[in-house]
A and B are shown apart, each in its own frame.
Chain A
Amino acid sequence: MSSELFFQSIAELSAALAAGKLSSVELTQAVLARTRAVDGRVRAFNSRDEADALAQAAASDARRAAGRSRGPLEGIPVGLKDVIAVAGQPLTASSRMLANFVSPYDATVTQKLKNAGAVLWGRLNLDEFAMGSSTENSATHPTHNPWDLTRVPGGSSGGSAAALAAGEAIATLGSDTGGSIRQPAALCGVVGLKPTYGLVSRYGLIAFASSLDQIGPFARTVEDAAIVLGAIAGHDERDSTSFRADIPDYRAELSARKGPWRLGIPKEYFGAGLDPEVGAAVERAVAFYRAQGCEIKEVSLPHTQYCLDAYYVIATAEASSNLARYDGIRYGHRAAAKDIVDLYFQSRAEGFGPEVKRRIILGTYVLSSGYYDAYYLRAQKVRTLIRQDFLDAYREVDALITPTSPVPAFKLGEKSDPLAMYLCDIYTIGVNLAGLPGISVPCGFTAAGLPIGLQLIGQPFREADLLAIAHRYERAHEWKAKTPEL
């Protein structure tokens, strides 16, 4: 791994901090300087507060000096997607609607990171309201892929992935509704984990599709992802969908769980549309697991072809309902209007960008009188079948291996058609519909030098196994030693 501080892992840096070889202020200054040097090109941040970060770092050093270190995240700069509330900091969802919004309170994950001693650093760009797969739908600016600045970082958590890949943070948080952590992680060559639905509290996360949204970490290594997950997971009474699950020591379990595992290859995930270089890289990863003594079985998820359709009905329906709150009254953009009803129409027209409007229209339509049964109710039934496909497969295997994204990072402006963009998520959305944990791990580069991601899909609330399986691959491969040249 690179000797530059900003490319090191949490595990390495926390050891250096604990040994007194490094202070959090020094580390934070290195990350701030790196950000100043490269973010004019990467553009991962919506806003950043250097003074606030340095004050947190100084407080961390003081805690450590007093013998009150809070654990492996003590003093580590962690960036947050700009849909996660931090009290007193901007929260924009990369939307004009919330351009001037300041969070009145902390999200639960924010509070947990503070309790773990992390230095919260910056507000990271995304597709507006997390709707997109390239971060081009941001109302502020597109983010660029650090590996090739003419290409997208993926989305919707593109800022979180790009900032980490570029050395502008040591770890970041994103949110994943249909692949918005895993796909940008794949396109930017970092690890991205979507936990089981209900494992991480959504309190203080701007809602997109509430039955699908989960917060999760981006990290340089699987071990780092395990560290961050351990800090943010757990039941929260402020999120009524939060699950009462035991939270193991994910980091300790990485080497404690040795396998060998039974791994399933869903045949539907290797069909038309899969880039040959991506497919070949995933095949090599499968061969690695086989050589490690894992049993590899082909499995079928027969309703895979319906995932995209069920997702775009359910996600847009929930979004149209969730985004009804942006009416120009209590907070957010308010347009000049002649009366109260006009104020609703004009505030929403001015505040929302094109993709958000499209999804509100689609979601309103599928919920509207006469269409509810044909679209929304039917999609929910198909969701049952999709979920059952996974549960059936898990009778035979412990986890599934697939590509994360069918293609590596594409050019900015390349996918102007909404449907073409939606197809970016074909390998990731089934996981959200079924509520499962999924992780994207770097598994090589294309001939053109673009990162490729391997997706591992685990069983509900068995992140410890999923992380151990991913860790087995990662520690035998040196992909993370390569960093983008900026």
Chain B
Amino acid sequence: MAAPADLNIDHVAQLARLALSPEEKARFARQLGDVLHHIEQLSKVDVAGVEPTAHAFPVVNVWADDVARPGLPVADALRNAPAQRDHMIVVPKVVE
């Protein structure tokens, strides 16, 4: 199992789209190092031939009838939008 020293916090924060201050990076790296050190216990468990569990009671093939039903009115759906105009959400320019 990977050593806690492998936690490259800049890389992970980049993946998570999360800006961290230098102080947060230092603090989280130390705290998560402790947590990861604890988690390394998992490497002691013999999991050969064991299937992973994603859900305790997996429900498979959940089908719904293909019936049109009323959805959320546009005004309600946009009620929490940070910025909106003409029934659309306004965002910063994404193409140059």
Asked if residues A365 and B12 are in contact (CB atoms below 8 Å), the reply is yes
Which chain B residues border A460 with CB–CB below 8 Å?
A: 56-57
B5 within 8 A of A: no
Contact of B1 among A104, A374, A419, A422 (CB under 8 A): A374
B68 on the A face (CB < 8 A): no
How far does the alpha carbon of A308 sit from the alpha carbon of B41 in the complex, in Å? Answer: 10
**Closest CB of chain B to A420's CB: distance in Å?**
10
Q: Is A358 an interface residue (CB 8 A)?
A: yes
What residue in chain A is nearest B18 (Cβ atoms)? A348
Choose among B24, B31, B56 the residue with the greatest number of A CB atoms under 10 Å from its CB.
Answer: B56
Contacts of B40 in A (CB 8 A): 309
Chain A residues with CB below 8 A from B26, complex form: none
A361 to B34, CA, bound (A): 14
> Is A334 a contact partner of B62 (Cβ separation < 8 A)?
no
Docked-complex contact B9 and A331, CB < 8 angstroms: no
Known pairs A197-B56, A306-B42; list 7 more (Cβ under 8 Å).
A306-B45, A309-B41, A354-B24, A362-B35, A380-B53, A385-B50, A419-B34
Instruction: List chain A residues, Cβ under 8 A from B91.
Output: 329, 340, 343
Known contacts A346-B19, A362-B35, A435 near B45 by CB under 8 Å = no
Cβ-based interface call for B87 (8 A): no
A binding-site residues for B, Cβ under 8 Å:
100-102, 104-105, 196-198, 211, 237, 240-243, 303, 305-306, 308-310, 312-313, 320, 324, 327-334, 337-341, 343-346, 348-349, 352, 354, 357-358, 360-362, 364-365, 368, 370-371, 374-375, 377-385, 387, 417-419, 422, 433-436, 460
Does the CB pair B59–A241 fall under 8 Å? yes
How far apart are B14's CB and chain A's nearest CB, in angstroms? Answer: 9
B67 to chain A, nearest CB (A): 11
CB contacts (< 8 Å) of B89 on chain A: these are 329-330
The distance in angstroms between the C-alpha atoms of A211 and B54, with both chains bound, is: 7
Given contacts A309-B41, A334-B82, A358-B28, contact A435 B52 (CB under 8 A): no
Q: Select one of B7, B20, B24 contacting A365, CB under 8 A.
A: B7
Q: What CA separation (Å) do A384 and B47 show in the bound complex? A: 9
Chain B interface, number of residues (Cβ within 8 angstroms): 53
B38 close to A309 (CB less than 8 A): yes
Instruction: List the 10 closest A-B pairs by CB distance, nearest first.
Output: A435-B56, A380-B52, A334-B82, A331-B80, A349-B19, A381-B47, A345-B19, A364-B16, A104-B76, A344-B17
Q: Chain A residues with Cβ under 8 A from B83's Cβ?
A: 334
Q: In whole angstroms, what is the CA distance A384 to B18 when docked? A: 32
Q: Once the chains bind, are A345 and B17 in contact (CB under 8 Å)? A: yes
Q: How far is the CA of A377 from the CA of B1 in the complex (A)?
A: 12
Task: Give chain B's interface residues, CB within 8 Å of chain A.
Answer: 1-2, 6-7, 9, 11-13, 15-20, 24, 28, 31-32, 34-36, 38-43, 45, 47, 50-57, 59, 62, 64, 72, 76-77, 79-83, 89, 91-94
Report whether over half of chain A's contact residues are helix, strand or loop; otherwise say mixed: helix
Chain A residues near B81: list those with CB within 8 A: 330-331
**Cβ contact within 8 Å between B57 and A198:** yes
Q: A105-B72, A313-B39 are in contact. Are A358 and B32 (CB under 8 A)?
A: yes
| Contact A309:B42 (CB < 8 A) given known A241-B55, A241-B59, A385-B47 | yes
Chain B residues with CB under 8 A of A334: 82-83
Find out whether the CB atom of A303 lies under 8 angstroms from the CB atom of B45: yes
Q: Are B56 and A361 in contact (CB under 8 A)?
A: no
Q: How far is the CA of A333 from the CA of B80 in the complex (A)?
A: 10
In the bound complex, how far is the Cα of B48 from the Cα of A3, in angstroms?
60
Contact A243–B57 (Cβ < 8 Å): yes
B47 and A197 within 8 A (CB): no
Residue contact A361 to B32, C-beta cutoff 8 Å:
yes
CA distance A119 to B20 in the complex (A): 42
Find A101's partner among B45, B56, B80 (CB 8 Å cutoff). B80
CA distance A310 to B9 in the complex (A): 21
A329 to B72: give the CA distance in the assembly, Å: 18
In contact, A357 and B28 (Cβ under 8 angstroms): yes
Chain A's closest residue to B46 (CB) is A385
Contact for B51 among A384, A417, A436, CB less than 8 A: A384
